[in-house]
Structure 1
Amino acid sequence: MIDDVCLYRPPDYDGAPPVDADAVAAWLRERIDADVRIREPFLDAHRTDDIAERLAGARVRSPRERDTVDPMLGTVRYEERALDDPARAGGVLYDGVAVQRALNAALPAEERPLDRLHVAVLDRAVGTWGNHDGRWHKRVSVLGQPALVSVPGLYEAPAKPESYYQEQQRHALLSGDAPPREVLENRVDGEFLVADDPRTTEALKGYVLSAVHLAATGEAFCDDERCRLSNPHRQPGVVRAQLREPEFCEAHAERYGR
């Protein structure tokens, strides 16, 4: 039973992900029988003396190396600066399980009742190691306590249509930089989310609810790809699950439907 959900905003800075945590919380309150509270970013609310070192040690070394980096002084200093100025924290992939452990250790004792779930919305990319193919995979979420929901992961983890990557490469060869979102949307067939997408908040709602659902019921993601509780591996599936009707499969509509 979950009686209390603490939803942590992502950091706020120029260029920060377009996430309306208040809208996510309001949507949750209509669907779950629990108190939903909004808090400041997790790394501000529960910053500990060793958190920079633990984040430095969670940085992925390379896509096909299982071991993460050693937390050397330079990377620790980088993480300290990123904590003070979150806009500096881009371009790094972190071991999501290691980050989750670090954030769990940062929670004070009074924040650990069994009926309270912490959900940290992060502006950092997180991944998990795939034993089946020997490489890191970016993730939208890492469920548990606290649950991690990665905004960059929403854009980067589910695969886009192949034509997207072809157009991206073609544009880069011709112009030397990444194409604007509008260019890709107009030239590439298929539906997908891109950085700063105005649909970001709506798409994240189901991932936050999935964290609550697991904590409350012990059930993982839904197998029905039309359901908000599913975990699609491709962008068109994300759009269908999070942005199209119906919101839930029949079984989960009984629990979460309005």
Structure 2
Amino acid sequence: MERVSLYPAPTTEADADAIAAWLRERVDAEVSVRERFLDGADEALAREFARARVLSPYDRATGSEMLGVVRYEERALSHPERAGGVIYDGVAVQDALRERLPPKERSLDHAHVVLLDRVLGTWGAHDGRWHKRVTVLGQPALLSVPGLYEAPAKPEDYYREQQRHALRSGDAPPREVLEREVQGSFLVEDDPRTTDALRGYALQAVHYLETGEAFCEDERCRLHNPHRQEGVVRAQLRDPAFCPVHERRYG
């Protein structure tokens, strides 16, 4: 690996400069932070996002090119703080952004890691539904900042509290109430731990391009890909940072 380029998502809590500084201490490559990848996007990219929209959790087909949807995506690209509530096919978004990489920078010795303020998903052929993801590895690698909060399942205590509130009041409690009662064991929107957690996911993106290894099976390692929030906290926010194998490489 010769170069790593990070692209920030300025409407989120994620600090691309801090992630880059952490990577510089661990990878033998030139690491830089560029402008937001989606700055200066045109109508063609808005159409790509419109086509990548997930329409139903259980429908493999995606997308709508209705004029109103395309106009919404144009506004979301120009004013990302207004976007939200939509899941996108992560592979389709990755394909669209890859076409916008400079041709000379598409080789595997130059990793592009794009932080996004969009929720990404991948289709699960095994169960016939879409699954939210934190990462879509490849070139470029996509890191969904809201996916960090939404994709991994919450702790069981969260769902128990949810049921308890529903039995008492008959309604689902506000998210803020649940987050207050089950503190610390999972990440929430605009969590101050966001940057620290995303460091490991950014390293996963670089590691994958360099070695072909997608994830580490050791639950204690930052290269692990947990499916539950407790696993994210364990892998990304607690010691040890790496398993013994990856400690020798990145510790």
Give 3-state SS (helix, strand or coil) of 2:38's partner.
helix
Match of 1:157 in 2: 151
CA contact (8 A) 1:56 1:75 kept: yes
Give 3-state SS (helix, strand or coil) of 2:84's partner.
coil
Match of 1:125 in 2: 119
Match of 1:90 in 2: 84
TM-score (ref. length: structure 1):
0.90
TM-score (ref. length: structure 2):
0.93
Give 3-state SS (helix, strand or coil) of 2:97's partner.
helix
Match of 1:4 in 2: 3
Structure 1 residue 80 displacement after superposition: 0.4
Q: Distance in 2 between matches of 1:190 and 1:5?
A: 32
**Does residue 26 of structure 2 align to residue 27 of structure 1?**
no
Residues 6-63 of structure 1, C-alpha deviations (whole Å, 9 max, x = no match): 10000x3xxx321111110000000000001101111116x34410000100000010
**Does residue 68 of structure 2 align to residue 69 of structure 1?**
no
1:185–1:55 Cα change, 3 Å: closer
Structure 1 residue 221 displacement after superposition: 0.2
1:175–1:63 Cα change, 3 Å: closer
After superposition, residues 240-251 of structure 1 pair within 5 angstroms as: 240-251=234-245
Match of 2:13 in 1: 18
Give 3-state SS (helix, strand or coil) of 1:71's partner.
coil
Letter in 1 for 2:5: C
Match of 2:198 in 1: 204
Q: Distance in 2 between matches of 1:254 and 1:104?
A: 32
After superposition, residues 209-228 of structure 1 pair within 5 angstroms as: 209-228=203-222
Match of 2:174 in 1: 178
CA contact (8 A) 1:224 1:249 kept: yes
Q: Distance in 2 between matches of 1:179 and 1:148?
A: 27
Consecutive unaligned residues of structure 2, counting only runs of 5 or more, are none
1:127–1:84 Cα change, 3 Å: same
Residues 93-143 of structure 1, C-alpha deviations (whole Å, 9 max, x = no match): 000000000000112323324411111000100000001110000000000
Aligned with residue 187 of structure 2, among 150, 172, 193: 193
Structure 1 residue 185 displacement after superposition: 4.2
1:84–1:168 Cα change, 3 Å: farther
Consecutive unaligned residues of structure 1, counting only runs of 5 or more, are none
Letter in 2 for 1:87: E
Structure 1 residue 166 displacement after superposition: 4.6
Deviates more, 1:136-145 or 1:171-180: 171-180
Q: Distance in 2 between matches of 1:220 and 1:229?
A: 8
| Identity of matched residues, % | 64
